[in-house]
Structure 1
Amino acid sequence: MRLLDTLRRLPQPVTAARLAAETEISTRQLYRDIATLRAGGVLVDGTAGYGYTLTEDPTLPPQSFSRLEIEALMLGVASLGDLGDAALTIAGRNALARIVATLPDRQARQAAHATMRSWRPTEPRAPITIALDLLRQACWDEFSVRITYRDAHDRRSEREILPLGMSYSPRTLMLVAWCLLRQGYRTFEVARIDTLMRGTTSFRPRRVQLLRDYVALRAAEWKIKDQQAALPMP
């Protein structure tokens, strides 16, 4: 499966040396694995010294997209690189490679020559030093985390929070959470979190309801602000 994923992801034809390096095996083992894939019905064209091309992958069902849908997929995954989240970017590229591998030849060529591009913002993003994988896992599995946080005035605080979701913007990454210290919703700039550790509090299955309540609270606040802004000036 690792070899198949690599064949789907890399520009083809892919040399044996590149495939072996990507999958962390010897070239001799790679040749055996290529033979195993072919015996299993995977159509891999090419030979040693030239490179390999995955032309038919029976492990994935066929897909079909319009040209604009293909452009949207390519543009969306390319835009992940602007977020400064390496793991998310790699995951998106791997998922896209699996999708492209299921396309008919004509549509696969359209994906390879997409006309739309995404460019990184000129404004630098604040660096993130904590383990985003742990933060994501805490959101998915609904357990608390302990953080050390610096606010805009560089004041430090330690608190335990229930992470609800993250919001990516061109400038920074924000975290919406329920703060156990303040007993209320708080929004944290992830780049200002200096330390992150797994907490001991589980809030399953409350995450969805907490998020709904947060959205309702913010919507009510925005409605009040809009009404105040519409009032005539005295």
Structure 2
Amino acid sequence: MTRTHRLFQLMQTLRRLPAPVTAAALVNETGVSLRTIYRDIDALRGLGAVIDGEAGFGYTLIEDAALPPLAFSDDELEALVLGLREVSVIGDPALAEAAQTALSKLKSRLPARQTHRLQHAVLDARRFVRPPEPRIDVKKLRAATWEEVTVSFHYEDAKGALSQRRADPLSIVFMQNAHMLMAWCHLRSDFRAFRLDRMSELEVTGVSFRPKRVPLLRDFMDLMRRQAEERAKDRQTFD
């Protein structure tokens, strides 16, 4: 780990953990020695970060001079908080952690009044039953989707039948209380939605399908919209 990366990680930890953050807690989070923590705190202060506290009492990040305050309306701030809190409860582990980090970054850059508003936002997102845990590395799948690279995986359907799939990943969508991969399935030669908690042994093939992702996804979404409209008409017919 480079010194720059270590200092960045230390700043993120000071933003994220409840203040005051003890040196021991920083050691546990960063994996470096106590002496290195003391040295890095001094280095951050030298770079302009206002960090209150000292060894034995814990540290509180008061202000990051490198980051100017952000300007949001109260409604914009509520929308951001609600969205990030929703991600923290429905996102895969990497995204859930990223949402918490993003909230801590917001807190460090807001004016004092809005920092209070962020901490005590009226809107919240809670789920007492979390969505099923994915059985694959979702970060790896997201990267393959962005890069427009075909993936392969094992899939277990609702009846327990297993199959080997090869698909072009188009998007990851949370719907029907589960995370779904929207994809073009090579086995079926058609669009398919795969539940992430039923996927396993994900492999990135290295075969590119660029630049087809955006038009394929648009076609898939149009198909789903038409199907939803048809189901709605059928329900109205029998009501």
TM-score, length basis structure 2: 0.87
Q: CA RMSD in A?
A: 2.2
User: Partner of 1:129: helix, strand, or coil?
Assistant: coil
In structure 2, the residue matched to 1:151 is: 157
Distance 1:114 1:224 in 2: 39
Q: Does 1:222 align with 2:228?
A: yes
Whichever residue aligns with residue 30 of structure 1, its letter is: I
Distance 1:220 1:171, change over 3 A: closer
Size of the aligned set, in residue pairs, is: 232
TM-score, length basis structure 1: 0.89
Matches within 5 A, 1:76-225: 76-83=83-90, 85-122=92-129, 125-169=131-175, 171-225=177-231
Whichever residue aligns with residue 138 of structure 1, its letter is: A
**1:82, 1:121 within 8 Å by CA — same for their partners in 2?**
no
Distance 2:42 2:112 in 1: 23
Identity of aligned residues (%): 41
Distance 2:224 2:165 in 1: 23
Distance 1:198 1:14 in 2: 40
User: Partner of 2:53: helix, strand, or coil?
Assistant: strand
**1:147, 1:159 within 8 Å by CA — same for their partners in 2?**
yes
Larger mean Cα displacement after TM superposition, 167-176 or 12-21: 167-176
Whichever residue aligns with residue 103 of structure 2, its letter is: L
Unaligned runs of 5+ residues in structure 2 are: 1-7
Distance 1:113 1:127, change over 3 A: closer
Unaligned runs of 5+ residues in structure 1 are: none
**2:148, 2:168 within 8 Å by CA — same for their partners in 1?**
yes
**Deviations 1:54-74, CA, capped at 9 Å, x for gaps:** 111122221133444333333
